[in-house]
Copies of this chain bind each other. A is one copy, B any other.
C-alpha cells in the first residue's frame, strides 16, 4: 500500500532574527508544540526553493515545491493566472495579468486597483470578453479575485516578449506605460504589443459606458475605467503529477496564484469562500478540508498566505500569531490523521519573507518531513535555527517534494 502525504505550505514562513522578538524569528518565537512534535519525530533541514542565494516569487517557489523545475517550465505570470480562472490555454496563446484600474484621460493612474474593486468585476469582464480586435485575434477576458483579471490573446504569430502597461505596485500615481515589443526585430512581438494596446483602447471605451461604473460614480467610488496589463507569458507543456507518478494530488487553497499553479500541474483545487488568501482565512476549515481530501487523494497540499501578508506589512507579531493558529490546526490534523496511519506529514514554505525588509529574500526555508520510514535527526523544534543542523541538510524545493514522494513509495527508479 502506498502511503499518503500532507504538506503544509506557509507562504513566506522563513524569516531573519528580529530584535523585538529577542533576536528570534517569528517561527522560533511562536509557541508551536505541534510543529515541534513533527520536527522531533522527523527529519529537518533548510530548503532553497531554487538555489542558495536566489530570491523567488510565490509563483516560482510554488512551482518548485510542486515538483517542477521553474527554469524549465516558468512562463511568466499571465499563464498561471489564466489557469487559476480555468482558461484552457493553447500553446500559441499569450496571457496577461490584468488589473482593473482608475485612469484619467491624460493617462495618469488615479488608482492601480480601482480602490480594490470587489463587486461587479464579473459583469465588467463579460463586457470586455466581447471585444473583437481588428485583425480577428480572439480576446478571452475573465475576472479573478478583487481587482484582478486575466487577458488571453488567441491568434497567429503572437509573442510574450512585450512590456507591461502597468507601472507596477511601487509606482502608484504614475502614468500608464506604452506596451512595446521587448525584441524590436520580432514581428510577433510588435504585433502583440499593437494588439494589446488596441485591446486597452477598446476596453476603456467599454468601461467608461458600463453600468457598473456609472453606479460606482454615483456612489462616490472610483470607476474601474482601465485595464492595466503585465506578466505576458505563454503556456509551456507540463506533465501533471498523475502522469509523472500515477498519483492524485489536491491543493487546499484560497490564493489565486497558487490555485493557478495547482491547476497547471494537475492538482485538484479545493477552495471555499472562507479561504481568503489573507490573515482572516479559516485555518481550521482548511485543516478539515485537507483531512477529508486525504481520503481521496495521495498527496494533499494545504496553502496558507497569512505569514507572507504579515511579513510584507513588516508585522512580526501578526506573523507569529498566524503561525500559532496554523500550529493549532496542525494539532487537529495530527490527532485525526493517526487513524489514517502511514501519513507522511511535511512542513515548508514557498520562500522566506523577512518582516524587517517586508520583501521576499533568498534565505532558505526551514522544513520538516515526518512519518513512517523517516530517520530522526535529533532536531526537536521547527524553526530556522534548529533546522540549520537538520539531517536533510540543504535541499531544493524539487528535492523536498521528491523526498516526500519517495517516502510514500510512489516514485520509480532511474536506471534498473
Is A409 a contact partner of B357 (Cβ separation < 8 A)?
yes
Q: Which 8 A-B pairs have the closest CB atoms?
A: A53-B402, A57-B415, A60-B415, A388-B391, A52-B399, A362-B406, A393-B394, A16-B373
Cβ of B53 and Cβ of A401 under 8 Å apart?
A: yes
Of the A-B pairs whose beta carbons lie under 8 Å apart in the complex, a sample of 20, sorted by A's number, is: A16-B375, A17-B376, A50-B414, A52-B395, A52-B399, A53-B400, A53-B406, A55-B406, A55-B413, A56-B414, A57-B414, A57-B415, A59-B416, A77-B416, A357-B409, A361-B406, A362-B406, A362-B411, A393-B393, A394-B394
Which residues of B are found within 8 Å of A70, using beta-carbon distances? 414-415
Interface-central residue, A59, A360, A375, by most chain B CB under 10 Å: A375
Q: Binary interface profile of A, 277-297, with partner B (CB < 8 Å = 1, else 0)?
A: 000000000000000000000
The yes or no answer to A268 lying at the interface (CB within 8 A) is no
Digitize A40-72: 1 where CB-to-B-CB distance is under 8 Å, 0 elsewhere: 000100100011111111111100000000100
Query: Are B403 and A359 in touch, CB under 8 angstroms?
Result: no
Give A contacts to B, CB under 8 Å: 16-17, 25, 43, 46, 50-61, 70, 74, 77, 231, 354, 356-357, 359-363, 373-378, 384-385, 388-389, 391-396, 398-403, 405-406, 409, 411-416
Q: Which of the listed residues A55, A377, A403, A413 has the most CB atoms from chain B within 10 Å of its own CB?
A: A413
Minimal beta-carbon separation of A27 from chain B (angstroms): 11
Give Cα A43–Cα B53 distance, bound, in whole angstroms. 14
Let me know if A399 and B53 touch, CB within 8 A: yes
Provide the bound-state CA to CA distance between A153 and B127, in Å: 65
Q: Which of B375, B394, B396, B409 contacts A385 (CB 8 A)?
A: B375
Smallest CB-CB separation from A385: which chain B residue?
Answer: B375
Give the Cβ gap from A83 to chain B, nearest Cβ, in Å: 15
Bound Cα distance from A384 to B391, whole angstroms: 10
B17 touches A53 (CB 8 A): no
Select A16's contact among B374, B384, B388, B395, beta carbons within 8 Å: B374
User: A389 and B377: CB pair below 8 A?
Assistant: yes
